[in-house]
Amino acid sequence: MLPFFYMGVFAWSGTFCYRVSLGTWFAWVMLLIYYVVKAIDRVEQEETASAQGQRYALTSCAGLLRNLAHAFGWENELKEKNVDPLFRKSMVFCAWSGLIAIVLFIIGGVILGEMLPPLLRANDPPEEFVRKVNEHLLSIRIGSVFLMLSFALFGPFGAGIAALTRRAEKSPVFSYVQLVFTSCGTLVAVLVAFTWALMAFRPDVYHPTTVQMFADFAYFLAVFSVPVFGGWCVVIALPILLAEEGQECFPRWVGYVNLWAVLLFAPGQLVLFFKEGPFSWHGIVALWIPFVAFFLWILIMCLSMLKAVKADDQVTGP
């Protein structure tokens, strides 16, 4: 317990230490979710083990066919058809892109960029926006670079999910729609970093209301765009939940996680109606809940992608 006590003490020793501590807590939450997902996987493996006996005859037949293929020289041809090393490497790359995006956001958005927790408040006067931005100018600029790198990685992350969905489809519909939402979501996210950087470009020259507008625009892009990121989650969930038993691209619980994520993103729409309180763009309901839910969703999807690759290796293994 002592490390947690000292972490809390350091959190109040200064703004930078506070943000480092918050980033550390954010990483701890991500690690906790990781172990929860691993626990779910362990339960699923135990359930799968109980059904192994029922598939014994089938695997025996498969072994017989494999021996026949070896005898007639067809083994290499079968391996070429079943095993795709490039696909596996591509999926690992896409999954790790999402994980790296989380780390870069913690550095750029939490520790340096002053975006979370929000340095600025929706009910601050324009002059206060300028003062705060000038006081933290260098850290916001450096943080914006990390934010741009983080949000750009949403592209390969979403493409990996769409690729796994495509493998489970007979006709590519949901996978193509996922690519559309991936493109829209990546564009919106990159614009968040772009706007945040532009706000810190020359705040002493801009009119104070312009600096205020840049901050409003960045947070509106991040939390008001619920149909984009919520729609992305829906088109991931539908092919999972509508698929026949055993034909899902991800486990069914992943589909329900995506639907819960939509509900947690929804409070972001309220920022249009409030400039103070929990429903404003600096409030806990409209900002913190959607932001934390979004990056937890990325973490869960990345771990699910890595698990799907591992399961594919076991199916197509030697």
Mean pLDDT of 85-112: 94
CB neighbours of 296 closer than 8 A, spacing ≥ 6?
A: 29, 30, 33
Statement: residue 56 has pLDDT above 80 = no
CA atoms of 147 and 113, how far apart (whole Å): 8
Statement: residue 48 has pLDDT above 60 = no
Mutual orientation of helices 85-105 and 154-168 as an angle, nearest 10°? 140
Q: Which amino acid is at 53?
A: G
Q: What are the E-state strand segments in 177-300? A: none
Taking all residues of the chain, what is their mean pLDDT, rounded to a whole number?
Answer: 82
The pair of three-digit structure tokens given for residue 134, joined into one six-digit string? 């000038």
Statement: residue 62 has pLDDT above 50 = no
Of the pLDDT bands very low, low, confident and very high (cuts 50, 70, 90), residue 68 is very low
The pair of three-digit structure tokens given for residue 27, joined into one six-digit string? 């990483």
10-19, 109-118, 193-202, 204-213: the lowest-pLDDT one? 10-19
CA atoms of 165 and 107, how far apart (whole Å): 31
Q: Any idea how long the chain is?
A: 318
Asked if 115 contacts 133 with a C-beta cutoff of 8 angstroms, the reply is: no
The DSSP 8-state label assigned to residue 203 in this structure reads T
**To which residue do tokens 């829906």 refer?**
234
| pLDDT per position as a tens digit, 25-38 | 455 555 555 555 55
Q: Global pTM?
A: 0.76
Among residues 142, 158, 254, 138, which one has the least CA distance to residue 203? Answer: 138
| pLDDT per position as a tens digit, 8-19 | 434 434 555 445
Mean pLDDT of 108-131: 95
CA atoms of 16 and 313, how far apart (whole Å): 44
CA atoms of 259 and 265, how far apart (whole Å): 10
Share in percent of the chain as helix, strand, coil (round to 5)? 80, 0, 20
Mean pLDDT of 154-171: 93
| pLDDT per position as a tens digit, 257-314 | 999 999 999 999 999 999 999 999 999 999 999 999 999 999 999 999 999 888 766 5
DSSP 61-122: HHHHHHHHHHHTT-HHHHHHHH--HHHHHHHHHHHHHHHHHHHHHIIIIIIIS-TTTTSS-T
DSSP 9-63: HHHTS-HHHHHHHHHHHHHHHHHHHHHHHHHHHHHHHHHHHHTTGGGHHHHHHHH
Q: Which amino acid is at 220?
A: F
Q: Beta-carbon neighbour count of residue 136 at 10 Å? A: 19
| pLDDT per position as a tens digit, 245-272 | 888 889 999 999 999 999 999 999 999 9
Is 169 buried (19+), middle (13-18) or exposed (0-12) by CB count in 10 A?
middle
Mean pLDDT of 208-218: 97
Asked if 144 contacts 113 with a C-beta cutoff of 8 angstroms, the reply is: yes
The pLDDT assigned to 74 comes to 45
* φ and ψ at residue 275, rounded to 5 degrees: -115, 0
